[in-house]
């Protein structure tokens, strides 16, 4: 089955720690995204990547870092510089811009709920 | 600035009734796309329906239809014959000129038996 996996499902972080959230897709999608969702709110874009070894900041990139060494993987690191990291994190992928897909539906993983202790 | 507005924070609907979830958007782009996603309590985002700005007919997918009124910049989701399993958060999103999605704040829909 093709899809997106995120791990762990729940993550607890102590103050001052860096933590890494995993995102893997086997949909052969070029583009991948990380979103943050706070209670009662919509999604806000943290980082996105349209191709391997390249990524761009979204609206709320401060305190986060990413890498895209493989097409299938797009891990997100929440650094100690992120002052309020408690949130629900969603990873998504899409076919990307290559080929001019106007539809470009994003497929989502099940999410990781991060709590700072 | 591009923006999505969902004015209904929450809605209660009787099972088997139709329900309309509102979405208005603001963009100066000529080419754009509008999406609706469902988010159950488990958290995953489920794609429901898509409408392109040049599509002349309203999109339909099973019990879901999109009431697209371009001049009014609205893209309301209509769910016919609602079911208990439709209880969830519903998000409207717009694809901008950079192919990124701009999201509304969502509407919490609760279906009453």
Chain A residues touching B90 at Cβ < 8 A:
none
Paired strand residues for A87 = A114
Predicted confidence (pLDDT) per residue in B74-109, tens digit:
999 999 999 999 999 999 999 887 778 899 999 999
| pLDDT score of A100 more than 60 | no
| Per-residue CA distances from A25 to A11, A54, A110, B54, B109 (Å) | 20, 17, 12, 31, 30
The alpha-carbon gap from A101 to the nearest alpha carbon of chain B, in Å, equals 10
| pLDDT score of A99 more than 50 | no
Can you give the pLDDT at residue A65? 97
Chain A residues touching B4 at Cβ < 8 A:
42
How many beta-carbon contacts under 8 Å exist across A and B? Answer: 54
Which residue in A42, A110, A113 is closest to B105 by CB distance? A42
d(CA A96, CA A90): 18
Which residue in A40, A102, A106 is closest to B101 by CB distance? A106
d(CA B6, CA A55): 30
Predicted confidence (pLDDT) per residue in A64-83, tens digit:
999 999 999 999 999 988 88
d(CA B97, CA A8): 33
d(CA B107, CA B104): 9
């Amino acid at each position: 089955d093709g899809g997106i996996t995120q791990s762990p499902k729940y993550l607890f972080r102590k103050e001052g720690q860096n933590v890494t959230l995993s995102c893997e897709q086997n949909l052969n999608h070029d583009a991948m995204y990380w979103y943050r969702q706070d209670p009662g709110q919509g999604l806000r874009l943290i980082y996105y990547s349209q191709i391997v070894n390249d990524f761009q900041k979204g609206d709320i990139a401060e305190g986060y870092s990413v890498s895209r060494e493989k097409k299938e993987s797009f891990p997100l690191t929440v650094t100690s510089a992120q002052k309020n990291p408690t949130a629900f994190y969603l990873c998504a992928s899409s076919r990307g811009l290559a080929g001019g897909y106007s539809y470009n539906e994003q497929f989502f993983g099940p999410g990781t709920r991060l709590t700072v202790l | 600035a591009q923006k999505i507005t969902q004015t209904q924070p929450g809605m209660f609907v009787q099972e088997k009734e139709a329900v309309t979830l509102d979405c208005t958007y603001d963009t100066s782009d000529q080419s754009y796309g509008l999406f609706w996603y469902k988010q159950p309590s488990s958290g995953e985002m489920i794609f429901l329906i898509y409408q392109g700005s040049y599509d002349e007919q309203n999109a339909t997918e099973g019990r879901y239809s999109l009431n697209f009124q371009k001049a009014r910049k609205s893209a309301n989701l209509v769910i016919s014959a609602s079911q208990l399993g439709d209880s969830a958060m519903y998000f409207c999103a717009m694809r901008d000129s950079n192919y990124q999605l701009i999201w509304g704040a969502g509407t919490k829909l609760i279906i009453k038996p």
